[in-house]
Chain A
Amino acid sequence: MSSLTIFYAILFYLATVVLVGGVAFKIYVYSRTPSPLRIPTMPAPMTQSGMVARMAREVVLFQSLFKSNKWIWIFGWMFHFGLLLVLLRHLRYFTQPVWSWVVLIQPFGRYAAFAMLAGLLGLWARRFLVDRVRYISTPSDHLMLALLVAIGASGSAMSFLVHTDIISLKAFMLGLMTFDWQPLPADPLLLIHLALVALLMIIFPVSKLLHAPGVFFSPTRNQIDDSREARHVAPWAAQLDK
Chain B
Amino acid sequence: MAVSKFEVPELKGYTVIPLVRMDAAAGIKSFPANAPIQEAIGFPGELPENWQEIAIAKMGELLGKYRSLQVFMDACVHCGACTDKCHYYIGTADPKNMPVARQDLMRRVYRRYFTFAGKYFPQLVGAKDLTRDVLDEWYQYYYQCSECRRCSVYCPYGIDTAEITMAGREILDSVGLGQKYTNEILGKVHRIGNNLGLPGPALMDTLSGLEEDVEADTGVAVKFPIDVKGAEVLLITPSADFFSEPHVESLIGYAKVFHAAGISWTLSSMASEAGNFGMFIGSYDQLKKVALRIRQAALELGVKRIVVGECGHAWRVAYSFWNTLIGVGAGGQDEYARMLQKQLDSNYPQPAHICEVTYDLLQRGAIRVDKEANDHRIITFHDSCNVARGSGMGGIPGGQFIIPREIIKSVANHFYDMAPETIREGTYCCGGGGGLLTDDLMELRVKGAQPRMDALQAVVENHGVNFMATICAICKAQFTKVVPYYGFEMGMIGGVHQLVSSAIILDPNK
If A35-B67, A136-B98 touch, whether A41 touches B124 (CB-CB below 8 Å) is: no
Other-chain contact of B67, A33, A126, A206, A237 (Cβ < 8 Å): A33
Q: Let me know if B323 and A140 touch, CB within 8 A.
A: no
Q: Which residue of B lies closest to A132 (CB)?
A: B83
**Stretch with Cβ within 8 A of B (4 or more), from A90-98, A149-157, A213-221:** A213-221
How far does the alpha carbon of A38 sit from the alpha carbon of B333 in the complex, in Å?
Answer: 18
Nearest chain A CB to B264 CB, angstrom units: 23
Nearest chain B CB to A14 CB, angstrom units: 15
Q: Let me know if A64 and B154 touch, CB within 8 A.
A: yes
**Stretch with Cβ within 8 A of A (4 or more), from B131-139, B373-381, B385-393:** B385-393
Q: Let me know if B425 and A34 touch, CB within 8 A.
A: no
How far does the alpha carbon of A241 sit from the alpha carbon of B125 in the complex, in Å?
Answer: 41
A 50-105 contacts with B by CB, 8 A: 58, 62, 64-65, 67-69, 72, 76
Q: Let me know if B321 and A131 touch, CB within 8 A.
A: no
A residues less than 8 Å from B115 (CB atoms): 206
A residues less than 8 Å from B116 (CB atoms): 206
Q: Mark each residue of chain B from 85 to 100: 1 if its CB lies under 8 Å from any CB of chain A, else 0.
A: 1000000000100101
Q: Let me know if A72 and B324 touch, CB within 8 A.
A: no
Interface check B155, CB cutoff 8 A = yes
Interface check A43, CB cutoff 8 A = yes
Q: Let me know if B320 and A208 touch, CB within 8 A.
A: no
How far does the alpha carbon of A175 sit from the alpha carbon of B288 in the complex, in Å?
Answer: 59
How far does the alpha carbon of A137 sit from the alpha carbon of B77 in the complex, in Å?
Answer: 9
How far does the alpha carbon of A121 sit from the alpha carbon of B389 in the complex, in Å?
Answer: 34
How far does the alpha carbon of A189 sit from the alpha carbon of B78 in the complex, in Å?
Answer: 30
Q: Let me know if B79 and A214 touch, CB within 8 A.
A: no
Other-chain contact of B425, A37, A42, A231 (Cβ < 8 Å): A42
B 58-81 contacts with A by CB, 8 A: 63-68, 70-72, 74-81
Q: Which of A29, A72, A208 has the most CB of B within 10 A?
A: A208
Other-chain contact of B152, A41, A131, A138 (Cβ < 8 Å): A41
B 131-173 contacts with A by CB, 8 A: 149, 152-160, 163
Other-chain contact of A34, B19, B65, B85, B124 (Cβ < 8 Å): B65
Q: Let me know if B158 and A64 touch, CB within 8 A.
A: yes
Q: Let me know if B65 and A234 touch, CB within 8 A.
A: yes
B residues less than 8 Å from A139 (CB atoms): 123-126
Interface check A24, CB cutoff 8 A = no
Q: Let me know if B83 and A39 touch, CB within 8 A.
A: no
If A211-B76, A240-B285 touch, whether A227 touches B67 (CB-CB below 8 Å) is: no
B residues less than 8 Å from A230 (CB atoms): 323, 329-331
A 184-228 contacts with B by CB, 8 A: 206-208, 210-211, 214-215, 217-221, 225, 227-228
Other-chain contact of A231, B68, B329, B351 (Cβ < 8 Å): B329
Q: Let me know if A228 and B397 touch, CB within 8 A.
A: no
How far does the alpha carbon of A141 sit from the alpha carbon of B126 in the complex, in Å?
Answer: 10
Q: Which residue of A lies closest to B75 (CB)?
A: A214
Q: Let me know if B391 and A42 touch, CB within 8 A.
A: yes
Q: Let me know if A219 and B81 touch, CB within 8 A.
A: no
Nearest chain A CB to B184 CB, angstrom units: 24
If A35-B68, A126-B80, A214-B71 touch, whether A62 touches B329 (CB-CB below 8 Å) is: no
How far does the alpha carbon of A123 sit from the alpha carbon of B68 in the complex, in Å?
Answer: 27
Q: Which of B71, B154, B159 has the most CB of A within 10 A?
A: B71
How far does the alpha carbon of A139 sit from the alpha carbon of B111 in the complex, in Å?
Answer: 14
Interface check B350, CB cutoff 8 A = yes
Interface check B435, CB cutoff 8 A = no
Interface check B38, CB cutoff 8 A = no
Interface check A163, CB cutoff 8 A = no
A residues less than 8 Å from B157 (CB atoms): 211, 214-215, 218, 221
Q: Let me know if B104 and A136 touch, CB within 8 A.
A: yes
Q: Let me know if A135 and B101 touch, CB within 8 A.
A: yes
A residues less than 8 Å from B285 (CB atoms): 240
Interface check B233, CB cutoff 8 A = no
Q: Let me know if A43 and B78 touch, CB within 8 A.
A: no
Other-chain contact of A215, B75, B98, B154, B329 (Cβ < 8 Å): B75
Interface check B493, CB cutoff 8 A = no
A residues less than 8 Å from B121 (CB atoms): 140
How far does the alpha carbon of A228 sit from the alpha carbon of B101 in the complex, in Å?
Answer: 34
Q: Let me know if B82 and A33 touch, CB within 8 A.
A: no
Interface check B16, CB cutoff 8 A = no
B residues less than 8 Å from A170 (CB atoms): none
Interface check A110, CB cutoff 8 A = no
Q: Let me know if B155 and A34 touch, CB within 8 A.
A: no
If A34-B65, A231-B327 touch, whether A58 touches B156 (CB-CB below 8 Å) is: yes
Q: Mark each residue of chain B from 333 to 373: 1 if its CB lies under 8 Å from any CB of chain A, else 0.
A: 11001000000000001110000000000000000000000
If A69-B81, A135-B98 touch, whether A33 touches B66 (CB-CB below 8 Å) is: yes
Question: Can you sample 12 A-B contacts with CB below 8 Å?
Answer: A39-B390, A41-B153, A62-B156, A132-B84, A136-B95, A139-B124, A218-B71, A220-B159, A225-B392, A225-B397, A229-B330, A241-B334
Ranked nearest first, the 6 interchain pairs of A and B with the lowest CB-CB distance are A214-B75, A68-B154, A220-B158, A133-B80, A138-B126, A132-B83
Given A38-B320, A42-B390, A218-B158, 19 more A-B residue pairs with CB atoms under 8 Å apart are A33-B65, A33-B70, A36-B65, A41-B149, A41-B152, A45-B397, A58-B156, A65-B154, A68-B154, A68-B155, A69-B84, A138-B126, A139-B124, A140-B117, A141-B77, A206-B117, A218-B71, A219-B158, A219-B160
Binding site for A on B (CB under 8 A): 17, 19-20, 63-68, 70-72, 74-85, 95, 98, 100-101, 104, 115-117, 121, 123-126, 149, 152-160, 163, 284-285, 288, 319-321, 323-324, 327, 329-334, 337, 349-351, 388-392, 395, 397-401, 425-426
Binding site for B on A (CB under 8 A): 26, 29-30, 33-39, 41-46, 58, 62, 64-65, 67-69, 72, 76, 123, 126, 130-133, 135-141, 143, 206-208, 210-211, 214-215, 217-221, 225, 227-234, 236-237, 240-241
